[in-house]
Structure 1
Amino acid sequence: MLKIVIIEREPFTLLGIKTAIEQSPDIEVSASATCGEIGFKLVEETKPDVVVIDLLLPDMSGLELTRLIKNQTNSKVVILTNQTDEKIVNFAFSYGADSYLLKTTEIEVVYLAIKRAYFNESFLDPNLTIKEMVDIKSSITGNCKH
């Protein structure tokens, strides 16, 4: 069974994510936190396989927390956020994120991303990929009206 820690700033959102993930028979939520400092301590204590992190935390950037976790533990990191900016996505991967998901994704995709991260496979939210493709197409055509 995969052990995970969830770090999400909003308590109600954290509860929803935890409840949804716990429906998977092969994933166990071993701890959760609403800030980066406590979350990192829990990661050090529980040594999870995967850590699910929101980028907007009250005490530190989720990017910095990702770097800290990747530099000091063996845990994989899955970003779960509302941030769709391409630069932020690129920063997340450069800071060591293994996967990047939007909070609007289906729970089955979250399960898949967690499992793929555990097996050293990166995962990018399919909805984000579609949005990026539309953005790229828009920038090429210049949003011209014919």
Structure 2
Amino acid sequence: MADPIKVVLIEDSAVALEIMKRLLDSAPEVEVVGTAQDGEQGLAVIAQTQPDVICTDLQMPKMDGLAFTKKVMSDFPRPILVVSNAVHPGNDVDNIFNLMSAGALDFFPKPTSGSATDYEKLKTALITKIKVLADKAK
């Protein structure tokens, strides 16, 4: 089996961070190598862990996802998946455009609690996006 895809999660909500971590930890092809609660911490974690893919929130204290994306692309260019409630197609076109212009490659609605079926669909969709982004980085 190939080495797992190394992922860093940057999310200020402890609940959302835990949900994402559990989703990804349940997939053998993905390894969460670090977490942070804001963009500033995230930059330090990325420098230490050298992940293949970064998943970040948009709305965070200290350094938001847009400023973080710009900094990552200038200092540690690698695929960024924005996981946020503020990136729903049709509702948040400006946010999506700004993030994509800054270098983010894709976006995903922030996971919330739901049924087991929803959980499995969410897990599959999130892991598929991460795999695609990791392949683009090669």
TM-score category (smaller protein) = 0.7 to 0.9
User: What is the aligned partner in structure 2 of residue 98 from structure 1?
Assistant: 105
User: What is the aligned partner in structure 1 of residue 57 from structure 2?
Assistant: 54
- Given candidates 17, 26, 30, the residue that maps to 1:27 is 30
Root-mean-square deviation over aligned CA pairs: 1.4
User: What is the aligned partner in structure 1 of residue 131 from structure 2?
Assistant: 115
Partners of 2:123 and 2:95 lie apart in 1 by: 22
TM-score, normalisation: structure 2 = 0.83
CA contact (8 A) 2:38 2:64 kept: no
Residue segments in structure 2 that go unaligned for 5+ positions in a row: 112-120
Residue segments in structure 1 that go unaligned for 5+ positions in a row: 122-146
How many positions carry a matched residue from both structures? Answer: 121
Which amino acid counterpart does residue 30 of structure 1 have in structure 2? V
Which runs of structure 1 show a deviation greater than 6 angstroms over 4 or more consecutive aligned residues?
A: none
Which amino acid counterpart does residue 101 of structure 2 have in structure 1? S
User: What is the aligned partner in structure 2 of residue 132 from structure 1?
Assistant: none
CA contact (8 A) 2:53 2:81 kept: yes
* Structure 1 residue 89 corresponds to structure 2 residue 105: no
TM-score, normalisation: structure 1 = 0.78
User: What is the aligned partner in structure 2 of residue 72 from structure 1?
Assistant: 75
Shift of 1:75: 2.3
Pick the structure with greater CA Rg: 1
CA deviations over 1:80-108 (Å, ceiling 9, x no partner): 00113111111110010011111247121
Which amino acid counterpart does residue 86 of structure 1 have in structure 2? V
Which amino acid counterpart does residue 94 of structure 2 have in structure 1? K
Identity %: 26
